[in-house]
Amino acid sequence: MNLGIFIRLAAIGFAAITPFILMSFFGLQPSLSTYWNTDGQFLFIFRNIITSYFFFTIDEWRIPACLLVLVTVFSVDIFPDIHNMIAIIFFASAAYSLYYIKRFKWYFIAFILCLPLLSYSLLHAEIGGILVLCAYHAHILIYKQILMKSNG
């Protein structure tokens, strides 16, 4: 495995564990964005920047990348309406990207199955969606590596 793949997998792993770190150190919040108002703000921003950078490297994920940057720029405490609209569009664009993938379409179904979590908690629905996205991107990276080794 080359360094680039390792860094991408580390970024995916970081994105997956960050919500749990935030919850552990800064308590349960109504949503991931409200960690902006805690001492975990840096971790929230850093995770979004790393994830956006990763998304920018994939053509089909550039729109979600831009939206994630905008979610971070328009903080929930200063621009709540704009932030919330962009966050909804981010998750919708991620669903769209998962829907139109050629392989592993079950990730779209898993992503959509996170929606009922909204009746319990926005935070839990966000985490569910993020974990599905992380699993998908890790799966694709590993799958491509296996294909390259078997063809190469």
One digit per residue, the tens of pLDDT, for the chain of length 152 reads 688 889 999 999 999 999 999 999 999 999 999 999 999 999 999 999 999 999 999 989 999 999 999 999 999 999 999 999 999 999 999 999 999 988 899 999 999 999 999 999 999 999 999 999 999 999 999 998 988 888 76
Rounded Cα distance between 58 and 13, Å, is 17
State the pTM of this model: 0.93
Give the position of tokens 């991620």.
94
- Residue 152 is predicted with a pLDDT of 64
**Cα gap 39→85, rounded to integer Å:** 24
CA distance 26 to 20: 10
pLDDT of residue 18: 97
Residues 6+ apart with CB under 8 A from 62: 55, 56
Q: Comparing C-alpha atoms, which of 92, 98, 120, 124 is closest to residue 20?
A: 124
